[in-house]
Structure 1
Amino acid sequence: MSTLVQAGALPSRTAAATDSARARWGRRFQHGGWFVAPFFVLYGLFVIVPVVRGLYLSFTDANISGEHTAFVGLDNYREALKDDLVRDSLWHSVQFTLYVVPVIVVTALLMALIAHHTVHFRWLWRLCFFAPFLLPSAVVGNLWWWLFQPTNGMVNHVLGWDTPWLTQKSTAMLAIVVATLWWTVGFSFLLYLAALQNIPRHLYEAAELDGAGSLQRLLHITVPNLRNITGLVLALQVLASLQVFDQAVVMYQFGPGPEESTRTFVQYTLEQGFTSYRVGYASAISLILFLIIAAVALGRMWLLRDREEAATR
């Protein structure tokens, strides 16, 4: 008899637990769900739906008109793996990333140190360092296109050179790197500045009492305390640099640059989709870039998790 009672009580307990969980989720949704619901709706419409649609198109031979679409399976991906322009454009994006990311990290840190330790006109330093980041990409591209002109450009005028920055292969990518550094370093500078302000002051005071110099305090206090923010800056800059597009196409008048040396992966994707009208093939290429970026992001999360686990041991 007791067994029957216990067996009958078990479903009722399960139902009660389920009802309790539903009640908790209902209360949580009442408190904050209606505030985040518009975001999830817009995120689904403008992110999830396009991603799913692009995934479907990557397995078809769809054109820009959307007519006569046929399923082709993995043919687009096989073609992309054999396409020399895919490899070249991917290498250009990787090359740009290798050039710009280390320079941005070091420059942003130096700028943050200057703005943090400056006594007079501190607000002016911060404004000057961050202001270029607020400019639109079209303005930045056209500005540096004019600055790099060989005859009347300010860069050659100041340096006393006559280098054709935008028309020769050896300097074409360097011009984009310089423009991007000037434009985007302000964001990383702001992250470093906020992190510097959170370092406890008593660490520096104790180091000074022990006779540590400025360089020793920088290497043994500042840099270790900025380790997490440096990892964040590296990850954000790598992900952004792999998607370089705006400044490159504006500076080279929407062309691939001298000897096609500045055609990036995103630019080649758009060329296939909106110039060659091969939407299916462009979707497959864009998905390849998505997988590369996802791998970089997941790799960064994995390294960060291992570091945190090692720190807690």
Structure 2
Amino acid sequence: MAADRSLAAGLPKARQRRFNYPLASWSNGLFVLPFVIVYVLLLVVPLVYGWWLSLQNVDLLGGTTEFIGIKNYVDLAFDPIFRGAVRNTFYFVFMTVPMFVALGLALALVLNRPGRFSAALRAIFFGSSVLSVTIVTLVWKLVLMPGHGLLADVSHALRIPEYVPLVHEATALPMIAIVTVWWIVGLPMMLFLAALQQIPQELYEAAALDNASRWRTFASITLPSIRRTLALVAVIEAVFQFQLFGQAQLLTDGGPNNASRPLVQFIYESGFRQWLFGYSAAAAQVLFLLMLIGIAVQAWIVRRKDSV
């Protein structure tokens, strides 16, 4: 060790830095090592194990596994319940993500002003997003309860026929989408608020001097300035909504007639109710690929808009 120090002391400063660089890089890597270990154990290993499990026929009771190749994936392709779950999941994502972007931006534009009233409204809208899915579904069950819920009371007061959306195939999933937007819209709103507050006020002052209309100011200044936040909100919400589970299970349990069963609920029921763990793992890998494709398409659209 003393010989290394004496050797480094006799070198020019530039060569001393090069001499000590490998040691410094290894010491810096030690700070990253705990994250790398956790990342590998909690993400990489389960992902690889999931792919391996999807190629097996797992018998938990007998404690045996049998390699069956892509048979689970072939069975999924011919499973009408699985195809319906995929269709429901995409339908739900296409309903909710544009609503999150549009409604979150609209709320941010309205509440992006000083004052206690605006601050109170921001707290109210954001407060719902910190509630658990159990509380949210319980509240909406009380609203939508047939005969005794708030919606039923309003229908009786107006003397119109009572309509329960959760028991009809055409409206069950859209109603879950409305509940989800009511629940989580506060998070996109806060992200848009943060982006709007970063726009220099001088741009709006210059637009006012040029007598630009509100729509022209919004289209020429606001939207270009927050386009990255728009992409961020769209990607985050797409990832979250592909994982729809709690609302559908607690409100409708996938019914009526599988009209609101999402892909995550199909995975859960296959693995923990039917004990088909290989089949469930194969469905989970399909969901993972669908999410990757969706994110890649959105990223491509964003890059294409930025290059135009």
User: What is the TM-score when the length of structure 1 is the normalising length?
Assistant: 0.85
C-alpha RMSD of the superposition: 2.2
Are the counterparts in 1 of residues 84 and 258 from structure 2 also a CA contact under 8 Å? no
3-state SS, counterpart of residue 61 of structure 1: strand
Residues 21-76 of structure 1 deviation map (CA, whole Å, 9 limit, x = unaligned): 9x535424534x44443332222222222111111111110134471210001111
Among 264, 286, 289, the alignment partner of 2:287 is: 289
Among 123, 129, 136, the alignment partner of 1:140 is: 136
Letter in 2 for 1:283: A
Letter in 2 for 1:43: Y
Are the counterparts in 2 of residues 63 and 280 from structure 1 also a CA contact under 8 Å? no
d(CA) in 2 for partners of 1:147, 1:26: 64
d(CA) in 2 for partners of 1:147, 1:24: 65
CA gap of 1:306–1:178, structure 2 versus 1, over 3 A, is closer
**Equivalent residue for 1:12?**
none
Q: How does 1:7-156 map to 2 (within 5 A)?
A: 20=18, 24=21, 26-31=23-28, 33-65=29-61, 67-117=63-113, 119-156=115-152
Residues 270-293 of structure 1 deviation map (CA, whole Å, 9 limit, x = unaligned): 111111101001111110110111
Residues 230-284 of structure 1 deviation map (CA, whole Å, 9 limit, x = unaligned): 11111111121111111111112xx221121111011111111111101001111
Are the counterparts in 1 of residues 76 and 283 from structure 2 also a CA contact under 8 Å? yes
State how many pairs are aligned.
289
Are the counterparts in 1 of residues 81 and 258 from structure 2 also a CA contact under 8 Å? no
Mean CA deviation greater in 211-220 or 177-186:
211-220
**Percentage of pairs with the same residue:** 31
Are the counterparts in 2 of residues 149 and 166 from structure 1 also a CA contact under 8 Å? no
CA gap of 1:53–1:208, structure 2 versus 1, over 3 A, is same
d(CA) in 2 for partners of 1:104, 1:40: 33
User: What is the TM-score when the length of structure 2 is the normalising length?
Assistant: 0.87
d(CA) in 2 for partners of 1:26, 1:249: 54
2:140 paired with 1:157: no
d(CA) in 2 for partners of 1:248, 1:163: 19
Structure 1's unaligned 5+ residue stretches are 1-16
Q: How does 1:197-208 map to 2 (within 5 A)?
A: 197-208=197-208
Residues 285-305 of structure 1 deviation map (CA, whole Å, 9 limit, x = unaligned): 110110111122223333444
Are the counterparts in 1 of residues 56 and 66 from structure 2 also a CA contact under 8 Å? yes
Are the counterparts in 2 of residues 93 and 264 from structure 1 also a CA contact under 8 Å? yes
Residues 193-220 of structure 1 deviation map (CA, whole Å, 9 limit, x = unaligned): 0000011101100010111122322222
2:193 paired with 1:193: yes
CA gap of 1:227–1:53, structure 2 versus 1, over 3 A, is same
3-state SS, counterpart of residue 103 of structure 1: helix
Query: 1:93 offset after TM fit, Å?
Result: 0.5
Are the counterparts in 2 of residues 64 and 278 from structure 1 also a CA contact under 8 Å? no
**Equivalent residue for 1:5?**
none
Moved over 6 A (4+): none
d(CA) in 1 for partners of 2:301, 2:267: 30
**Equivalent residue for 2:210?**
210
Q: How does 1:147-296 map to 2 (within 5 A)?
A: 147-158=143-154, 160=158, 162-252=162-252, 255-296=253-294
CA gap of 1:146–1:25, structure 2 versus 1, over 3 A, is farther
Query: 1:306 offset after TM fit, Å?
Result: 4.4
**Equivalent residue for 1:3?**
none
